[in-house]
Amino acid sequence: MNIIWFRRDLRISDNIALSSALKHGTGTCKAIFIETPEQWKAHNTAPIQVDFLERHLNLLSEKLENLGIPFDVLSATNYPNQVDVLAQYCEQFNVKHVFANTEVEINEQLRDQTALHALKAISTQLHLFECDVIVNKGAVLNKEGEMYKVFTPFKNSWVKHIQLHGVQLAPKINQSSARKPISNSRSHQLNFDKVSSNKWPLVTEIEETVLPDFFDHKHFSYKENRDFPARKGTSGISPYLAIGALSPRAVFLNALQTNPHMLENPKSVEFTWVNELAWRDFYKHLLFHFPELCKHTNFQPKFNTLRWPNSPYAYTKWCNGETGYPIVDAAMKQLTQTGWMHNRLRMIVASFLTKHLLIDWRLGEKFFMQHLIDGDFSANNGGWQWAAGTGCDAQPYFRIFNPITQSEKFDPNGDFIRKYIKGLENVPSKHIHFPHEYLKATKQTSLYVEPIVDHKSARLTALDFYKQ
């Protein structure tokens, strides 16, 4: 018997491990997922993401059973235990081949190496594939055969690679006469303290409605709208990519279909969205080439000497969305109330934490993972190190976002701020970005918290701090 071992690739289409498992031999094929609650805790996986994962496991189970593939959810505590559980299962069912798609992070790679040996010892083979990026990791290198350390040349080379080799999807899986649909309406429950993700539809709605609508109406205005959190200008697919319910290659090919010439001009408006998919690949390739990043090391070692003051008071205020800077506070409330935050806001709050409050980016990275439905180690680590200035092709340390001008530029009427900060609903737009003088003049100071730092002096302190 063969098994397909699902991890963060919860989909039927464009799943190389699944199509290979079905193609391999004529024996029966089963599918498994092995939960690891302790590992999720250690990795700061957000309770909302585990709930989202559970809903998609149940959807996957239904789809697999329609294809005649039984699906079991097994329990382990952490990765070492996961390997034991897998080996026992293989022995019990006389499994000879296990098929899985790799995950790029260091603990996941180690887990797979251990599984390879443990399975070999019982004469079972583990076959690994790659399914989480558009261009395979290791395939985009500079002339010296090394990974690029700057995004633009990486992107140019990434585009050339696609032009030369194309992007292939895994073979389509069809209903086979050898497998009869199974009716087994079991509900799988993951053993974790979850937070409801019901506001996020299942991936079927994304594939059938949201993405077609995005490509029909929003793709071409993405460049114009993508930075404004009050507009629905981005695709909203990051949670689905993070658990592998959507294939990055399939969405890339969708985009290419809407404009087959976009690769010829990577500066074009049409390429802007694909450019973000290229950033996603860039960060995954980085992790592949620099696995130490998984240990939260600064990409640029010169920043290792920074001694972050890490004020617990300021950190708590930032987490709670009580800094006195409306755009920062509204963004943090979006995160804690919905499990998602707009990209422009992620950049603003990350800059504010590291540069205005001088708090180690790792604390922000952790808080994000604990709350994001789309938590993804490579994009999160990349984004935080970019904002802190410690990363690969990062924002230079002396570029410090002014939260007030960012707010004026990207939430000009204050619509986003008003949605999340109760009390500021009636503040006029021209005061909403920093309402303290207005609230004093109108004797309404009780409506909003005082700013915890002064922008100008915090900026100068940050410059001094980083110059050290």
Catalytic residue among 108, 130, 276, 408: 276
CA distance 327 to 325: 6
Q: How far apart are CA 2 and CA 286, in angstroms?
A: 33
Radius of gyration of the chain (CA): 24
Calpha distance 430→406 (Å, rounded) = 14
Q: Which is nearer to ligand FAD, 65 or 227 (CB)?
A: 227
Q: ∠ CA(158), CA(100), CA(166), 5° rounding?
A: 25
Q: 384 catalytic, yes or no?
A: yes
Catalytic site residue 425? no
Q: Which helix (H) or strand (E) holds 342?
A: none
Is 130 in the active site? no
Q: Is 361 a catalytic residue?
A: yes
Q: HSE (CB half, 13 Å, CA atoms) of 160?
A: 10
Judge contact between 299 and 388, C-beta under 8 A: no
Question: Active site residue: 81, 308, 322, 402, which one?
Answer: 308
Terminal Cα-to-Cα distance of the chain (whole angstroms): 61
Residue 12 C-beta: closest distance to ligand FAD, Å = 20
Beta carbon nearer to ligand FAD, 85 or 169? 169
CB of 283 to ligand FAD, least distance (A): 5
Q: Are strands 125-129 and 97-101 parallel, antiparallel or unpaired?
A: parallel
- Indicate which residue of 158, 279, 340, 386 is catalytic: 279
What is the closest distance, in whole angstroms, from the C-beta atom of residue 455 to ligand FAD in the complex? 20
DSSP letter, residue 137: T
Residue 31 to residue 296: CA distance in whole angstroms: 33
Active site residue 308: yes
Residues written for the chain:
468
Nearer residue to ligand FAD within complex by CB, 382 or 435 = 382
Given the residues 361, 365, 380, 386, select the one marked as catalytic. Answer: 361
Catalytic position from the list 158, 340, 384, 386 = 384
Instruction: Name the minimum Å distance from CB 1 to ligand FAD.
Output: 35
From 170, 113, 107, 106, select the one nearest 136 (Cα to Cα).
170
What 3-state DSSP class applies to 113?
helix
Residue among 81, 107, 254, 343 flagged as catalytic: 343
Residue 335 vs 439, nearer CB to ligand FAD: 335
CA distance 460 to 455: 9
> Cα–Cα distance between 10 and 323 in angstroms, integer?
39
Residue 226 Cβ vs ligand FAD, minimum distance, rounded to whole Å: 6
Residue nearest to ligand FAD (CB): 383
Taking the C-alpha atoms of residue 241 and residue 248, their distance in angstroms, rounded to an integer, is: 7
Which residue lies nearer to ligand FAD by CB, 245 or 347?
347
Catalytic site includes residue 276: yes
Q: How far is the CB of 346 from ligand FAD (least distance, A)?
A: 4
Residues that bind ligand FAD (CB under 6 A): 226, 234-238, 241-242, 276-277, 279-280, 283, 343, 346-347, 350, 368, 372, 374-376, 379-380, 382-384, 387
Which residues are CB-neighbours of 79 under 8 A, at least 6 positions away? 36, 39, 107, 108, 110, 111, 114
Least Cβ distance, residue 374 to ligand FAD (angstroms): 4
Rank residues 191 and 343 by Cβ distance to ligand FAD and give the closer one: 343
Task: Decide whether 306 or 372 has the Cβ nearer to ligand FAD.
Answer: 372
Query: Which residue numbers are catalytic?
Result: 276, 279, 308, 343, 361, 384
